[in-house]
Structures are given as C-alpha cells and as structure tokens.
Structure 1
Amino acid sequence: MTITKPKPKSTQTADSFISGAPDAEVKPRGVKKGNKQQISLTIAPTLLVKIDELAAELGQSRAAVINMAIYRAVEHGLTIDGLRKA
C-alpha cells in the first residue's frame, strides 16, 4: 500500500466562500446624491480662490468648474511636466 499526499484544498473554493459573505461587498466611500457620488477634496487656498474667480466669470458653481476640469482631464488627456497622458 502506498502513502499518498492529500491534495491541497482549492483556494478558489475559499475565495468564492469569502466573496459570498454579505459584508464582502466593497462599498463606495462618500454619499450618493442622485446620479453623483459626493467626495471630500482638499485644495490649497490660493488655488481655491482662482477656482472661485473662474466660476464667477463663467457664471458656474465651484463644483461645476471642478467637475468640468476633471472631465476634460479624463476625456481629453492631461499633460504634467511635459508628459502627456491620454
């Protein structure tokens, strides 16, 4: 009679068990408001003054200007220190 090693238990079974737990769901941080997700953002005071001035010129809110800037960076690319990320 030969002695055989037991087969290691599949980690896939353990992973599927853990991911099936009710508290396993990763919940987004912040508060959901309509179709948007509220976040916390820290901005330097001097930059905030410039954002407020631009918002006043455009007749938009501060949040609208920040949203537009982020949208443009994500959709049209961003250049930082000469490196362009599209």
Structure 2
Amino acid sequence: MAITKPKPKTTPAADTFISGAPDAEAKPRGVKKGSKQQISLTIAPALLVKVDELAAELGQSRAAIINMAVYRAVEHGLIIDGLRREGDDRQ
C-alpha cells in the first residue's frame, strides 16, 4: 500500500474565484491592537539611533515618531531621488 498525500480541499482557481467575489474582503495580516494594525519594520541601526534621539527630544515614543513621519509623508507628500509624490492634501 502506497502512502499518498491528502488532496487539497480547494484549488487555486477556486480560491481566486471566491476571493474575487464582491462581498469577499481581504483579511489584514498581523495583529490588531485597538484601532491600529501592528506591523514589523526593519530599520538601519544608525537611523534607529536618530529616531530614538528625536523621540527623547520631543518626549514621544519611538512608535509615535515613526507614525508621525509616515503620516506626514502620506498626507503632505514626499521627495525621493528628486521625484515628488504629492500627498492627499493637494488641491
């Protein structure tokens, strides 16, 4: 008698079809903490030291400084290598 692997209950095509339904909602990855979503972030040690210094200077947490920086980039725009990405507050 040969050992066989169990057959998957759904196929990738079926999963794609089901996830494309109008009432299908994407499940966020990670852990929900209150009204916020926890993420994992990798950051260069030298930059982390600067973030921690700024946080201490402003009396804020590391997470608060990172949240504020991301918020400002999204809402007010960002320039990377000379390319400007306008924020959501454009008129």
Stretches (4+) displaced over 4 A: none
Structure 1 residues 20 and 77: CA distance shift in structure 2, 3 A = closer
The structure where helix makes up a greater share of residues is 1
Q: Which residue of 2 aligns with 1:10?
A: none
- Any gaps of 5 or more consecutive residues in structure 1? 1-13
Structure 2 stretches lacking a partner, 5+ long: 1-13, 87-91
Compare CA radii of gyration and give the structure with the larger one: 1
Partner in structure 1 of residue 9 of structure 2: none
Report the AA paired with residue 43 of structure 1: I
RMSD: 2.6
1:32-71 counterparts in 2 under 5 A? 32-71=32-71
Q: What percentage of aligned pairs have identical amino acids?
A: 87
Aligned residue pairs, count? 71
C-alpha displacement of 1:19: 3.6
Between the aligned partners of 1:68 and 1:19, the Cα distance in structure 2 is: 34
How far 1:25 moved relative to its partner? 4.5
Structure 2 length-normalised TM: 0.69
CA distance change for structure 1 residues 57 and 26 in 2, over 3 Å: closer, same or farther? Answer: same
Task: Assess, with a 3 A threshold, how the Cα gap between structure 1 residues 67 and 46 changes in structure 2: closer, same or farther.
Answer: same
